[in-house]
Structure 1
Amino acid sequence: MIFLTPLALFGLVALPLLYWLVKATPPPPREQVYPSLEILRRLTSGRADTARSPLWLLILRLAAVALLVLGLAQPVWLGRSLTSGADRALVLVLDNGWAAVPHWQERLRAARSLAERHLRAGQDVTLLLSAPDPDGSMAAPFTTRDRARFEERLLALSPHSWPTDRARLASQLRNLDQTGAQSPAHDIVFLSDGVATGSDRALTSALAHRSNPVSDMRWTGCDTMLLAAQQDDHGVLSATVSALACAAPKASPVKPGALTLRVRAENGGTLGLFPLGAAPDKPTILPLPPLLRNRASRIVLERDTGPLPGPSAIALLDEGDHRHPVGLLTQGSQDTPLTGQGFFLAQAISGVGTLHRGTVPELLKQKLSVLIATDGTLADETTRHLVADWVRQGGVLIRFAGPVLASDPQAALHDMARTLLPVPLINGMRQLGGPMSWGKPQILSAFAEHSPFEGLTLPKEVTVTRQVLAEPTPELGSHVWARLSDGTPLVTASAFGQGELVLFHVTGTADWSSLPLSGLFPEMLERLVDRSAGQQDPAVLRTLVPFAMLDAQGNLVPPPEAARPIAVEALGHTAPDVQHPPGTYGPHLASKAFNLGNALPPISDEPMLGKALTPDRVSPDHVLAPWLLGAALLLLLADCLIALWLRGLIGRLTVIGFLIGATLLPVPHASAQAGTAPHAQPSGEDDETPPHQNGVTHGIVPGAALETRLGYILTGHDDIDQASREGLQGLSNYASDRSSAVMGHPDGLTPGKDDLAYYPLIYWPITEDVQEDPKRSVALNSFMAHGGILMLDTQGVGSDLSTRDEGQTRAALKRATSGLVVPPLSKLDDHHVLAHSFYLLHDFPGRVQGLPVWVARSGDDSNDDVSPIIIGAGDWAHAWAMDAQGNTPYAVIPGGDEQRTQAYRFGVNLLLYALTGNYKADQMRVPELLKRMEQ
């Protein structure tokens, strides 16, 4: 321990003087006997003045003054230090690359602790950083003897998302020796991230001939992980994780089961949770349905405590990992099953991308990559103008010929903005074969090398009997992607703005050719969809410009100053650095992901650079002055109270209470820390159910009896139960904000064990492992018989979002309802009371939409004509879910926020329906009742 103000210790000299003053007493009186005053000896005084202070009070006052003097001397309790002493200068080398993110704050505290003793001794402390700055240069060595400046420098530091450059760091160490900027006698301490790089040998060589002591401090590598994501030719996503071995001897190894892969959408919503396999370094398949995979933006590696920090635990997904959304524009009878163009094209696109139908304004409001227009749908000039603006911004328009296009005189114009055709056409239609033609049906010719259809197998049975012809021009050959055997174009294309115009010179049905009936047709459409989103420009195809980079916190930010483009052919084998940080490259609609996990080899341990050190051998210095001065102040205050008590001005209980309070002052802090420990299992006859588990109070007065709460049945699956809790909490908040219902927090319930009578609505997500339970069925039947509503949700089974087997889920639903009194059901429509109990609704979506909802048929007066059971697959809990921060963690497909609002509104209708019954239905009969009263 040292004193920053040692001269203040001279105040201890005053302690003997204080002792003499406090102990001083007046001289004893001279005794004189007066017999006549003997009666005065028998009188007792009501108040006695002490001649001297009690010994305990004297000690109290001396301790207070001593603590005051020691506090003013500013003592510091020195922590443990790994350096040889304060008589030498110190060089701190701090790794600040991506691998330093997990323990960044611990690294700063260690650097502060290591430097404090040297700075107090007036020695130089030099700080070196191993990762380049955003401008590409290495940070200059920072040398100081001022503690405040060193602290300011540390607070200004932050880690980077690219690796360290140990070769340039070695050059800086050599320059320190050559320029004499550092004292010859100095210690070197590396605060290393422990991850091996390709430039480690250069740093080891620079340290080999140094006589200065070198130490290497390592943190546990259990948090240093590298996530890589891949997608095969069939669109199946998989992920692998490489982890650094735990460097700390006492660190427990990472349990693979504790790791989870969370797939997130662009807006941050969760699309899927997948536990990591027993072997993290082996590919883990992520079985996402196509509709969710198309919206996946990133994969995040998480533990039970939350996401792992840093960009290495994030794998971005580029446009090549998505099936691009496709819009289909048809009209009239073109959607006729088995014969219409809309039917043929929808079947061909179903295995290629996400298909959307509607009018041009409706389709262009969505994020489409491709718009397919059948013959006659672009005849209106206003429609062509809207589509032209969309194509200029990077969209791909695929048109099909037909009688309308063949007879359109504007098709011969050379103005693509007006015609939306890649090439001008000859008026009329060419017919091959038949009684009015000398020719015969033509087959396809081999695709050219520049064609996107290159490599596709040509079926011999595909023939063309009619087509529209392109006007012969010198540059026509550069626009042809597919030809017939006689050389006439079958498919032509041309760039338009940042988008592309593509024309099939035949119809999308089998009346002009047999192409739509072949397997080649969906393959051609798949090639066109894959090259969509503005990838037509050859310069863009060759070079990818930095678009958005991952920072150390995993957020997408603008690229740093030193970021440079990456050639497409070099994307797979480019090493990440400050010029090529992880992130996305290329145009926004055609960006390519560049991830640390895919660009770096599996991480391995870096060789030790010196004496091995661990962070637990370093502790910071502790300033004792605040504690000493605080204790002195309490003692002086206690002395004042005791003096008042001795004079009889205050009671004894006041002093005792103050002393007890001062003694127990640290107790609340300890209690707060103890409160974070796991709760002990309460003793009693039923040890399986704690008194407050899942929000249900098993005491005399349940919490649900004091406020209105919703309930959900516990399934035993933590992720599903959490979604149910967050979903009902989100619905309760939404209903409380927008109606007169005041809702409490939801409770997790076990029918047959918990009292269900206090809940108006119970939500039950059906899982495939649910089993029959007679005790549960009896409790739920009693709940429904007394006016409660039970809502069963199969969580999206039957939609494109679900990968669960419908047969198994149907069997699970049958087991769940076994023993339940289920009335005859009918499909919920907009005439039911649920459709207008609060909001006027026409559909009832959850996380998915379009799936039916089943309610009891009307006419049952035993329950006030209210359906006791509701069954659906909308996955409403995930749509209603709201986390502790007020965010909606799960994505809603495909309608986004608008669909989520509709889901909330259906939930409010359901809640008020459960609380108030069919009063809305009675209001509908009011006009008829008034009419009858008049009669």
Structure 2
Amino acid sequence: MIFLTPLALIGLAALPLIWWLIRATPPQPRSQRFPSLLVLRGLHARRADTERAPLWLLLLRVGAALLLILGLAQPVHRPRATPGTSGGSRLILVLDDGWAAVPHWSERLRALRALGDRALRDGRQVMVLRSARGQDGGLPDSFITRDAARFDAFAGRLRPESWPVDRQALIAALHGLPAGASEVVVLSDGVASPQDDALRRALAALGPVSDMRWTGCDVATLGARTDSAAALRVTVKALPCPAARVYSVHARTENGGTLALQTLALPAERNQATAEFPLPAVLRNQTARLTLTDTSSPAPTGPGGIRLLDEGDRRRPVGLITRPGDETPLLGAGFFLARALGPIVELRRGAVDKLLASPLSVLIAPDGTLTQSSTRARVEEWVRQGGELIRFAGPDLAPGQEDAQTPEAPATDPLLPVPLLGTMRQLGGPMSWGKPQKLAPFPETSPFAGLTIPAEVTVSRQVLARPAADLETHVWARLADGTPLVTAAPLGHGEVVLFHVTPGADWSNLPLSGLFPEMLQRLVRRSTGLRDGGTATTLAPVAMLDAEGALVPPPPGARPLDAMRIGHVVPSAEHPPGLYGPRSERRALNLGDSLPDLAPEPLLGAPVAPEGAAADQPLGPLLIALGLLLLLADLALSLNRRGLLARTVAALLLLGSLPQTLHAQNTPNAVPQAALQTRLAYVVTGHDDVDQAVREGLEGLSKYATDRTSAELGPPDGVHPGTDDLAFYPLIYWPVTADTQPDPRRTAALNTFMAHGGILMIDTLGAGTELDPDSESGMRATLRRATEGLNVPPLTKLDDRQILAHTFYLLHDFPGRVAGQPIWVARRGDVALDDVSPIIIGSADWAHAWAIGPDGGTPYAVIPGGDEQRTLAYRFGVNVVIYSLTGNYKADQMKVPALLERMGR
């Protein structure tokens, strides 16, 4: 034990004086009131005056004074067997501050402070070495001090980095230190590296080494890739742990909204697990990142548990114009294009009108699909607005006559990048002197630059471009003899690309090679509207992922990346994890995609548990508290001797109960809160994620309605129909999940609720929509099973002529998280309660659109998105609330013109 204020111990000299004063001053005698003087006859004379204080009172007061004096001296208890106290004039603290230290960073800082403060109080020098390179690209200088205040300020500025530690640089820094006369404590992240043996030798040369470790169960990385079936597969790599772990992977938008959730189990002692993430294309294209959460640990996963998605992860919608016979295996154009594009894009097939009815990134037109003038006009308009049109040659573009002007290939056709010679060039064969041509290297300005050309790819037939002065500016690929193979030209805000061969294997074997899908993938990536002349060979850093998982500006030491090597680069201070390159070619560098499998690091010294670095325990506050308690005990005993203790306790109890009495007088009898304040309700499903989202959604709707209408709504309640009383609620929101089962008690309660004027709003949460397109048939069966026995009147589709469409806001659309879904309400004339529909059924997932998170933001994205859709969802919710509170009062407004006409008469 040590004393931080030893001068306060001078007060111990006053203890003899206190002893003498207490003994010399007896306590005041107790006064006693006698009811009658007759009692005095029974008293015997005895000595009643006190000459000295009793010994117990003397010890009590001296003990209180002693505790107060010792407490003011600030004694500190130091644990015995702790690292950093074995000797040596200097303590060296080696701190791992890379990405793997993030889960236990606060504990590491506490241990660092405790070890450093203890050594400084012993008069030793403290040196701190960090093992991760700084944001300037170099290893931070060692910190050396003997000043406790300076050390605390330094520790308060420490932050972890989002890249791995650099063991090689740390070893070089250790070799520059004098050997011996030091004690070393390593605060290791526990992740193995190839330099561990060299690091152990370098540390041992400095003095005795202690290795402090935290549990490796919280260190994990998240990776993802697209498999051959175009599905997104996520991989979790972690340090082995004795217990099984369950992770949740969230797909999030740029503003943090949750799009989807997938759980992944990692068995005990396993360090890797992979699972398919069922993410529809429409949600995948809106996903900015995947985040990993360990459901059994509150520790953050840091940048290792974040996987940024880039342009290569997007599933862009590509339209393929088809004709009968195009899907014939090994013969049809659609057969080869579907297999080349299927794994990398969302491929849609059909006629032009059907394809252009929904948003597209690229439109592919094989030969013969653009023959009608109306079709050509619509495609031209689409391209001018920013579309990417990819065309392929064929017999229709080369009818076999020189300079032929066919309806599809006139010399000035806007849907062709260059004018064509109306003939086909044949290379090789019995009627040709030539031989099939190989491909020439791609020009540096071509989007295909950098792609490897297989030596076996040849072209036997092609459509020739008409010679022109600017032909070279339109050529992206050519044959070995210089004739164009792929040409392109801008058209309005879009672009037209022409392959001078067919997409099948009849004119060339290019569609049979791996080069063909790579070329198409490069073209699809160009469909963002940024025409910069070709694929960038170097990608400049745009944003860095910091230790807290936020995207921040790149550090000064960040360097550009080679676009061809980004998949093989391990994140570092020079190449931090984050986003690189222009918007149209943005690539993400992720820890989980680049790091090897994680393995535990061998011990670098004597093992030490983090508890061994517990901070010194100050005893001063405890001693002062005990001294004050003794003084209170002395006061109580003194009051008791004077007969005032009971009165004092009664007075204190009366004062303590007075606030509770006043509160009880102002509090009404216990009644349900829904009876005192209008509240919305929702049926509890038992799924925590669904119940939380619905509760946040109804909270957001209640606040929105309170701010904009005269309705004052309280927080929503979760109810169990058949158990809870539903009579207090005007509206109950029922989210139907796939595992909902029939319940007669619930059905009876809901029937009674609707019969007495309540409105039941059933939502299947986007089943059968783009959120979950494969669940439509299953949800229909679930809905029939869940509503079995429910008194549902004949239904009709909600339109803008229904009262619900203009109860408060005048609406024509009723979107939720998903737009365009039908809503079913009771048919007019078939409802007993004044034509007020007791039930509303839909699948637009309104709760997620209404939801307001704890930070006040909207955590769930809407589809297809935009603030306007969310505003319409809120307005429809307000209409439903007012409809449930007021019924059909708006219907009377339809009679206003007739009433005014009658009054005018």
Question: What letter matches 1:299 in structure 2?
Answer: L
Q: 1:264 aligns with which of 222, 229, 252?
A: 252
Which residue number corresponds to residue 654 of structure 1? 648
Quote the offset at 1:288 in angstroms.
Answer: 0.9
- Change over 3 Å in CA distance of 1:217–1:739 after alignment to 2: same
Which residue number corresponds to residue 822 of structure 2? 852
Which residue number corresponds to residue 765 of structure 1? 735
Which residue number corresponds to residue 785 of structure 2? 815
- Change over 3 Å in CA distance of 1:822–1:277 after alignment to 2: same
Q: In structure 2, what is the Cα distance between the partners aligned to 1:377 and 1:720?
A: 44
Q: In structure 2, what is the Cα distance between the partners aligned to 1:128 and 1:209?
A: 16
Choose 161-170 or 228-237, whichever is displaced more. Answer: 228-237
Quote the offset at 1:100 in angstroms.
Answer: 0.5
Q: In structure 2, what is the Cα distance between the partners aligned to 1:796 and 1:878?
A: 10
Q: For residue 190 of structure 1, give the secondary structure of its aligned residue in structure 2.
A: strand
Which residue number corresponds to residue 293 of structure 2? 302
Quote the offset at 1:289 in angstroms.
Answer: 1.0
Q: 1:241 aligns with which of 236, 240, 245?
A: 236
Which residue number corresponds to residue 74 of structure 1? 74
TM-score of the aligned structures, taking structure 1 as reference length: 0.76
Contact 2:70-2:623 at 8 Å conserved across structures? yes
Residue 304 (structure 2) pairs with residue 315 (structure 1):
no
Q: For residue 564 of structure 2, give the secondary structure of its aligned residue in structure 1.
A: helix
Q: 2:705 aligns with which of 730, 735, 753?
A: 735
Q: For residue 764 of structure 1, give the secondary structure of its aligned residue in structure 2.
A: strand
Which residue number corresponds to residue 358 of structure 1? none
Contact 2:437-2:458 at 8 Å conserved across structures? no
Q: In structure 1, what is the Cα distance between the partners aligned to 2:440 and 2:793?
A: 65
Question: What letter matches 1:285 in structure 2?
Answer: E
Q: 1:214 aligns with which of 209, 230, 236?
A: 209
Query: What are the equivalent positions in structure 2 for 1:333-482 lying under 5 Å apart?
Result: 352-353=345-346, 375-376=376-377, 450=442, 472-477=467-472, 479-480=474-475
Contact 2:26-2:53 at 8 Å conserved across structures? no
Question: What letter matches 1:196 in structure 2?
Answer: A
Q: 2:747 aligns with which of 777, 791, 795?
A: 777
- Change over 3 Å in CA distance of 1:232–1:17 after alignment to 2: same
Q: In structure 2, what is the Cα distance between the partners aligned to 1:487 and 1:112?
A: 70
Q: For residue 178 of structure 2, give the secondary structure of its aligned residue in structure 1.
A: helix
Question: What letter matches 1:529 in structure 2?
Answer: V
Q: In structure 1, what is the Cα distance between the partners aligned to 2:55 and 2:835?
A: 86
Question: What letter matches 1:502 in structure 2?
Answer: V
Q: In structure 2, what is the Cα distance between the partners aligned to 1:269 and 1:598?
A: 23
Q: 1:711 aligns with which of 668, 674, 681?
A: 681
Which residue number corresponds to residue 2 of structure 2? 2
Q: In structure 2, what is the Cα distance between the partners aligned to 1:921 and 1:350?
A: 53
Quote the offset at 1:550 in angstroms.
Answer: 0.8
Question: What letter matches 1:758 in structure 2?
Answer: F
Which residue number corresponds to residue 610 of structure 1? 605
Q: 2:273 aligns with which of 273, 277, 282?
A: 282
Q: For residue 580 of structure 1, give the secondary structure of its aligned residue in structure 2.
A: coil
Quote the offset at 1:592 in angstroms.
Answer: 1.0
Listed as ranges, the gaps of 5+ residues in structure 2 are: 28-36, 326-333, 349-355, 366-374, 398-404, 425-435, 657-668
Which residue number corresponds to residue 676 of structure 1? none
Query: What are the equivalent positions in structure 2 for 1:680-695 lying under 5 Å apart?
Result: none
Q: In structure 2, what is the Cα distance between the partners aligned to 1:589 and 1:254?
A: 44
Residue 293 (structure 2) pairs with residue 293 (structure 1):
no
Quote the offset at 1:884 in angstroms.
Answer: 2.5
Q: 1:755 aligns with which of 694, 706, 725?
A: 725
Query: What are the equivalent positions in structure 2 for 1:890-909 lying under 5 Å apart?
Result: 890-909=860-879
Residue 180 (structure 2) pairs with residue 194 (structure 1):
no
Q: 2:488 aligns with which of 466, 477, 493?
A: 493
- Change over 3 Å in CA distance of 1:623–1:727 after alignment to 2: same
The C-alpha deviation readout for 1:10-42, integer Å capped at 9, x for no partner, is 211211111212321599xxxxxxxxxx99x99
The C-alpha deviation readout for 1:126-149, integer Å capped at 9, x for no partner, is 111111111111111211111111
- Change over 3 Å in CA distance of 1:308–1:4 after alignment to 2: closer
Number of corresponding residues: 813
Question: What letter matches 2:233 in structure 1?
Answer: S
Contact 1:370-1:529 at 8 Å conserved across structures? yes
The C-alpha deviation readout for 1:68-108, integer Å capped at 9, x for no partner, is 32123221111352234456421111100111100011111
Quote the offset at 1:530 in angstroms.
Answer: 3.5
Which residue number corresponds to residue 98 of structure 1? 99
Contact 2:77-2:618 at 8 Å conserved across structures? yes
Q: In structure 2, what is the Cα distance between the partners aligned to 1:50 and 1:404?
A: 130
Q: In structure 1, what is the Cα distance between the partners aligned to 2:633 and 2:127?
A: 48
Q: For residue 913 of structure 1, give the secondary structure of its aligned residue in structure 2.
A: helix
Q: In structure 1, what is the Cα distance between the partners aligned to 2:458 and 2:377?
A: 29
- Change over 3 Å in CA distance of 1:797–1:860 after alignment to 2: same
Question: What letter matches 2:729 in structure 1?
Answer: Y
Question: What letter matches 2:291 in structure 1?
Answer: V
Which residue number corresponds to residue 594 of structure 1? 589
- Change over 3 Å in CA distance of 1:833–1:255 after alignment to 2: farther
Q: For residue 527 of structure 2, give the secondary structure of its aligned residue in structure 1.
A: coil
Contact 2:102-2:300 at 8 Å conserved across structures? no
Contact 1:287-1:803 at 8 Å conserved across structures? no
- Change over 3 Å in CA distance of 1:67–1:496 after alignment to 2: farther
- Change over 3 Å in CA distance of 1:238–1:5 after alignment to 2: same
Quote the offset at 1:923 in angstroms.
Answer: 2.1
The C-alpha deviation readout for 1:800-824, integer Å capped at 9, x for no partner, is 2214432211111111121111111
Contact 1:86-1:117 at 8 Å conserved across structures? no
Residue 140 (structure 2) pairs with residue 139 (structure 1):
yes
Contact 1:301-1:307 at 8 Å conserved across structures? no
Q: In structure 2, what is the Cα distance between the partners aligned to 1:546 and 1:483?
A: 33
Quote the offset at 1:201 in angstroms.
Answer: 3.1
Contact 2:220-2:301 at 8 Å conserved across structures? no
- Change over 3 Å in CA distance of 1:641–1:171 after alignment to 2: same
Contact 1:445-1:483 at 8 Å conserved across structures? no
Listed as ranges, the gaps of 5+ residues in structure 1 are: 28-37, 179-183, 247-252, 329-333, 339-343, 356-362, 412-418, 433-443, 509-513, 663-698
Choose 710-719 or 221-230, whichever is displaced more. Answer: 710-719
Residue 615 (structure 2) pairs with residue 620 (structure 1):
yes
Contact 1:167-1:200 at 8 Å conserved across structures? no
Query: What are the equivalent positions in structure 2 for 1:153-172 lying under 5 Å apart?
Result: 153-172=154-173
Contact 1:731-1:907 at 8 Å conserved across structures? yes
- Change over 3 Å in CA distance of 1:580–1:52 after alignment to 2: same
Q: In structure 2, what is the Cα distance between the partners aligned to 1:653 and 1:900?
A: 66
Which residue number corresponds to residue 13 of structure 1? 13
Q: In structure 2, what is the Cα distance between the partners aligned to 1:523 and 1:199?
A: 39
Contact 2:438-2:458 at 8 Å conserved across structures? no
Q: In structure 2, what is the Cα distance between the partners aligned to 1:459 and 1:272?
A: 45
Which residue number corresponds to residue 261 of structure 2? 273
The C-alpha deviation readout for 1:252-304, integer Å capped at 9, x for no partner, is x4433x31111112221111101104557232000111111111111111133
Same amino acid, percent of matched pairs: 54
Contact 2:798-2:823 at 8 Å conserved across structures? yes
Q: In structure 2, what is the Cα distance between the partners aligned to 1:26 and 1:629?
A: 26
Question: What letter matches 1:123 in structure 2?
Answer: R
Which residue number corresponds to residue 544 of structure 1? 539
TM-score of the aligned structures, taking structure 2 as reference length: 0.78
Which residue number corresponds to residue 870 of structure 1? 840
Question: What letter matches 1:127 in structure 2?
Answer: V
Question: What letter matches 1:761 in structure 2?
Answer: L
Contact 1:547-1:586 at 8 Å conserved across structures? yes
- Change over 3 Å in CA distance of 1:785–1:532 after alignment to 2: same
